[in-house]
Structure 1
Amino acid sequence: MPKPNPDALDFLLTRRSRPAKTLIGPVPSADALKPLLLAAARTPDHGKLEPWRFIVVEKPAMARLAGIAETRGKALGLDADQIAKGRTQFDQGHLAIAVIEVQKPSEKIPALEQTYSAGAVCLALLNAALASGWGANWLSGWPSHDRPFMQQALGLEPHERIAGFIHIGTETTAPPERPRPDLDSITTWINV
């Protein structure tokens, strides 16, 4: 019989992302952030390729990213609401970790599995931050999918892309609960 870890299971059953707009300073120091990054780097990774890396975006850099998002939104012909939404996460952000998917050549590990691993890193980092008492949220949005934004804001190479921005800070309000999936409607049991 396996040895249960009820505290860990309770955390996973009750975890809730905090809206990024409600996060303020203080934010984790570099020393406090390192264990969170280490926890995220323990994500399953077929072939030990490490198809991801981290870019820590601190408050002083947020204004630059917000400006690039606005410039790119205008160049793309987006409407004012889309542009505002694209820059808001940076205008309001205090600390974010950009999880960067780094596609690596492999005869054994398909590109899609590398993408899955990068997504798992995002969730692991989010959960590590929450488990450490910080408020955290995983955001993407159109700037995360815009190649010129990736290059100008973060200096990404052609084989890299943004898997997500994990915003971390001090929680100001309790997060609202949201509807959860109906387990019976999304689960199929096969026994033959």
Structure 2
Amino acid sequence: MDALDMLLNRRSMAKLTEPAPQGQVLENIIQAGLRAPDHGSLTPWRFVIAEGDGLDKLSAIFAEAEVKLGSDDVVINKAKNAPKRAPMIITVVATVKPHEKVPALEQHLSAGCAVQAMQMAAMVQGFQGIWRSGSWIFNDNVKNAFHLAPDDQIVGFLYLGSPGMKPMDVPKRNSQDFVSYL
């Protein structure tokens, strides 16, 4: 798959199975994330990989967050099972560094670019993924579990694994609906 074909046909895949990326393939994924646009060379990211027992820890973090919110048992059980949808999850954190020319928002966006680059690197190497966010990225209990500083922000959970289904067709969009010129 060439790069343009991959970008034009990218689809997230919610059903992922073993194996997860390992070794040099995983290192390539991480290195792709480290090449995200980075104004000021601040490297405003941190990647936390969960697999095996780490997925159980992430499950406990999500479930505890829902318990503290007063969620019902259905929501708590859904939270417990969320990390079991893939053999690996990389939590991407924007680690904001004070800088007079690079505001926190720009550093958050840079970390978001890292997630996208990592997902694309997984795809080009034969793996699949889905970038999930939701309320947990803003949840104080989840943030505390990842030891975030006040300006830091989880930008997403990148679920990775082998394709567990055939990807859905890519919807065709008319670029004219989204583009204007000055």
Give the alignment's TM-score, normalised by structure 1: 0.86
After TM superposition, list the pairs within 5 Å mapping 1:42-191 onto structure 2: 42-152=35-145, 154-190=146-182
CA pair 18-85 structure 1, distance change in 2 beyond 3 A: same
Percentage of identical aligned residues:
34
Q: Which deviates more, 63-72 or 133-142?
A: 63-72
CA pair 104-135 structure 1, distance change in 2 beyond 3 A: same
1:18 aligns with 2:13: yes
Secondary structure of 1:9 counterpart: helix
Query: 1:102·1:159 contact (CA, 8 Å) conserved in 2?
Result: yes
Q: How many residues align?
A: 182
CA distance in structure 2 between the aligned counterparts of 1:150 and 1:89, rounded to whole angstroms: 17
CA distance in structure 2 between the aligned counterparts of 1:128 and 1:169, rounded to whole angstroms: 12
CA pair 182-83 structure 1, distance change in 2 beyond 3 A: farther
The equivalent of 2:4 in structure 1 is 9
Shift of 1:157: 3.0
Shift of 1:150: 2.1
Shift of 1:183: 1.7
User: Structure 1, unaligned stretches of length 5 or more?
Assistant: 1-5
Secondary structure of 1:53 counterpart: strand
- C-alpha root-mean-square deviation of aligned residues, in Å? 1.9
Query: 1:70·1:84 contact (CA, 8 Å) conserved in 2?
Result: yes
Deviations 1:87-129 (A, max 9, x none): 3321333111111100110011121111111111111111111
CA distance in structure 2 between the aligned counterparts of 1:100 and 1:119, rounded to whole angstroms: 9
Shift of 1:67: 2.0
Q: For 1:128, give the aligned amino acid.
A: A
User: Structure 2, unaligned stretches of length 5 or more?
Assistant: none
| Greater Rg over alpha carbons, structure | 1
CA pair 179-157 structure 1, distance change in 2 beyond 3 A: same
CA distance in structure 2 between the aligned counterparts of 1:37 and 1:54, rounded to whole angstroms: 8
Shift of 1:140: 1.4
CA distance in structure 1 between the aligned counterparts of 2:93 and 2:28, rounded to whole angstroms: 18
CA distance in structure 2 between the aligned counterparts of 1:7 and 1:94, rounded to whole angstroms: 26
